[in-house]
Amino acid sequence: MQEDHIALSADRAWQDQANCLGVDPDLFFPERGASTREAKEVCKGCVVREDCLEYALANGEKFGIWGGLSERERRRLRRQRAQATRSIVSA
């Protein structure tokens, strides 16, 4: 049990370096149709942006801005990766 907690903490250690640390979370979960520009600006120069994006993809985050991408953009990326994997497997 303790080992699981330690592994989980290590998996999320990147969050301590995120630009969004201390920023109002509502900024990253805008109302439907609202602008995502401000949230994406926070993500733009973040040193853990890739970690954040991979976390969202691995955990199926359906809402919000993660790693600078909206859910629609993450769905597109998942499709592109799946197609690339299928191409490699069938080659």
Q: Determine the Cα–Cα distance for residues 14 and 33; give it in Å rounded to an integer.
A: 29
Cβ atoms of 42 and 19 within 8 Å: the answer is yes
Residue 10: predicted pLDDT: 55
Residue 1: predicted pLDDT: 47
Residue 13: predicted pLDDT: 87
Averages of pLDDT over runs of 10 residues in the chain (91 residues) are: 47 89 95 94 96 95 96 95 83 62
| Exposure on the CB side of residue 51, measured as CA atoms within 13 A | 13
Residue 16: predicted pLDDT: 94
Q: Is the pTM of this model over 0.95?
A: no
Residue 91: predicted pLDDT: 62
